[in-house]
Amino acid sequence: MELEPILPDAQGECCEGDCCSAEPAGDRAGERKSHRSDRLKANLITRLNRIEGQVRGVKGLIEKDAYCDDVLNQIAAIQSALNSVGKLLLESHMRSCVVERIRSGETEVIDELLVTVNKLMK
């Protein structure tokens, strides 16, 4: 499955409003939040719903004692789909949140990004 490019809106931004911010959120004051475009959010949710269905399918295969190779191939497909979600989210994060934080002088976001990329690449 090919990734859709994340295109900037009319203002040149990839998401609506202030992308990453620390906002009071109920009991979790100072919680960081991202504001994704409706299009990106819908795309991510659609992909995650599909992945959720695939995981339920694998559970069913295991319950039915399906052939191991068939189960492993389905697990590989799920991992690939999750990687695609991660790539989309990473691209959006870099084009919006990271850029905005660097522009505002928060260069520590680079270290944060490197830690995240290392986790994604394991």
The sign one gets for the Cα dihedral 60, 65, 66, 69 is: positive
pLDDT, tens only, 16-68: 444 665 554 455 556 778 888 999 999 999 999 999 999 999 999 999 999 99
Q: Which domains does the chain have, with CATH numbers?
A: 37-120 (1.20.58.1000)
pTM above 0.95, yes or no: no
Contact 71, 59 (CB under 8 A): no
Sequence-separated (6 or more) residues with CB below 8 Å from residue 97: 19, 20, 34, 109
In this prediction, residues 87-102 reach a mean pLDDT of 94
Of residues 19 and 82, the one with the higher pLDDT is 82
Among 79, 115, 96, which Cα is nearest to 41's? 96
- Structural tokens at position 10: 């009319």
